[in-house]
Amino acid sequence: MQQRVFLALITAMLTISLGVGFIVPMLPIYADTMGASGTVIGLIFGVNPLARSVLQVAFGRLSDRTGMKKLLLIGLMGYALVALGFLFSTRPWQLVAWRFMQGSFGSMVQPIAMAYAGLLTPDGHEGKVMSVFNLSFFAGFAVGPMAGGMLTDLWGATAPFLGMFTFSLFAFSLVLLTVPEQTQTKQGHKKTLTPFSVLLRDVAIQAVVCTRTTLSAARGLFSVLLPLWAGISLGLPATTVGILVSWRAIAEAALQPPFGIVADRVNRYYLALGGVALSPVVLFLMPSARSLSQLVFVIFLLAVAGGMGVPSATALSVQQGRLFGMGSVMGINSTANSLGMFLGSVGSGLVMDLFAIERAFWLMGYVLCVGVVIMGYLAYKSHAPHDAQTKVT
């Protein structure tokens, strides 16, 4: 029974990232055919993480009070309807609206699916179990663009939207049939929500926010700057650039399970600190990467940073979710991730307009060093040996 529930929750997580990945390759072209300006196309991409940044905490906390399954079902059905909305859009502003709705419905699924899984996770195995959910999420971003491109080549520009619609309905059906209702009160927790101010004063939650924000900001910077650096500065063909982008996502997804096991055996604060500290190093090294092999190596280092940091932060989230409400803490985790991606993407664009691209890497690397200092302080402040956090049986 529990294995079927986990499979349904993993499918729900995969749906959210696949839904984005399916439409990314052709959405700018789709918008351009409607006469969208460059600013509007940027807005189409930006409103999705902005919606997630705003709403994920709210939906996570709501799930602690009202139950998780109903919100999962609403989110997945909404995701399917959004696909149809894209399909029948005729104006650029409609694409902006549907991208905002995609982020809104996704905010009902990602943190709540992870919260539900967190409630089912045995003590001492948070890193191992939750890393599988991280793997499914990253896998959608790795596979989705390639699958969306293939669907477009085979059946036309509408095919990725139909693929998103079909997969969302499949996930909806799986959750409906296999996932029982789950609330915090069934696990013996109080129904009264922990005040948000209390959550943000907790050192472990602060560490989660710092880790996820810094790592996703680095990812956002990478997404904007790497294609320009590799394609324009180094003159690599578009196919090679696309492979490099996918390589990071595939490598980071593959590293989630092994580092998840490590996160159950070492101090999670210091493992997260290692991932955060590696992020600015990658940005400092990127302008020195002048060959394909050097780029592959530097990109792999970024994947290692995510491999170290994300399972550690997710395990800490499960650990604190048992104390404060799983939906609330997972909502904070997911919001920090979306906010970092938004800030990294926007920040890189602004800096690139002011400086040469090489200087943009360096300057943003120094900005990420702030995250390293904060995370180092939190790791020191915690004074919490791993055995005091979770005991591996």
Phi-psi region of 188 (alpha: psi -120 to 50; beta: other; left: phi over 0): left
Q: Does residue 237 belong to any structural domain of this protein?
A: yes
Asked, for residue 360, whether it belongs to a domain, the answer is yes
Domain-embedded: residue 143: yes
DSSP collapsed to 3 states, 93-110? HHHHHHHHHHHHHHHHHH
pLDDT at 138 (0 to 100): 81
| Domain span at 173 | 2-384
CATH number for the domain that contains residue 128: 1.20.1250.20
Residue 226 is assigned to a structural domain of this protein: yes
What pLDDT is attached to residue 25?
63
Radius of gyration of the chain, Cα coordinates, nearest whole angstrom: 20
DSSP 124: T
Residue where the block lists tokens 């994947």: 303
Contact assessment for residue 363 and residue 355, using Cβ atoms and an 8 Å cutoff? yes
CA torsion sign, 70 to 73 to 76 to 78? negative
What total of structural domains would you count in the chain?
A: 1
List average pLDDT for each run of 10 residues in the chain, which is 393 residues long: 85 89 75 79 78 89 88 96 92 92 93 90 88 84 78 82 93 94 50 80 95 92 76 73 79 92 94 96 89 90 95 94 91 90 77 75 90 95 55 36
Q: Which of 313, 359, 321, 335 is nearest to 120 (CA)?
A: 321
Is 271 among the domain residues? Answer: yes
pLDDT at 101: 95
Look at residue 168 in the predicted model and tell me its pLDDT.
Answer: 95
Nearest C-alpha neighbor of 339 from the set 59, 116, 55: 55
Return the SS3 of 43: helix
Report the predicted TM-score, pTM, of the whole model to 2 decimal places.
Answer: 0.81
Type of residue at 355: F
Number of H helices, E strands in the chain: 15, 0
Q: Which helix (H) or strand (E) holds 58?
A: helix 38-66
pLDDT at 191: 55
Residue 391 lies in a domain: no
Q: Cα torsion for 124, 128, 134, 135, to the nearest 10°?
A: -170
What pLDDT, on a 0 to 100 scale, did the predictor assign at position 8? 93
